[in-house]
Amino acid sequence: MAWQPYYATIFMEEINPERMFNIILVMGPPGVGKTTLLRKIFEEVRLIYSCQGFFTEEVRNEHVRVGFDVVTISGQRCVLARERSEQSKQMPKVGKYSIYINDFEKLVLPLIACANFKYELLVIDEIGKMELKSKKFESTLYELIHKMPILATIPCALIKQSKLIESLKKAAKSKIYEINKNNRDAIQKEIVKCINAVLKKN
């Protein structure tokens, strides 16, 4: 029988802080280098710990950004967002971008839903407006914060449609690192040290 993912509708009241695993959040404005920093951290910790997750990459055409792709740690890729077109009128939008929710969910949901069975750390770049257009993705994350440690990037701006980010930021077991172009190198060492401390406990 083929494995079928289960996506519950999970409400904020069901988050149990006592059962939460450690959440390490990297926060910063667009273009500051969150994805680059996360990749560097991943390349360092993957030598010691088993990791699963994905990165969000810009897609450019002649130096002009036209969208975003999701790339998993194992190298699988899907379209996350592209500039609006006549063919994408029915898709959810973030700014000028149409969000390819079906493609995103097909790749990412089985990946992260199974991560707690085989991996020590879940890496998510990012928990942002585009990714949270998928309510199934949001529900899966609510489940996972009680099952395994997570390293994730988040935007600075409030996302009104979702309480997930604000909940994670306020959680007792969350550690937030706010990066800028001047502190990226130093903060990388701090985050790796934090990951080592978290995973040795678990």
Compute CA distances 188 → 39, 151, 200, whole Å.
10, 12, 18
Domain 16-201 fold is Rossmann fold (3.40.50)
Handedness of CA 129, 82, 113, 179 (dihedral sign): negative
Question: In this model, does residue 117 exceed pLDDT 80?
Answer: no
What's the mean pLDDT in 154-159?
80
For residue 164, the model assigns a pLDDT of 84
* Triad 179, 36, 162: Cα angle to 5°: 65
pTM more than 0.95: no
What's the mean pLDDT in 47-62?
93
| 85-99, 129-143, 181-195: segment of lowest average pLDDT | 85-99
83-106: pLDDT as tens digits: 876 666 788 899 889 999 999 999
All structural domains of the chain with their residue ranges: 16-201
Q: What is the DSSP string of 62-124?
A: TTEEEEEEEEETTS-EEEEEEE--GGGTTS-EETTEEE-HHHHHHHHHHHHHTHHHH-SEEEE
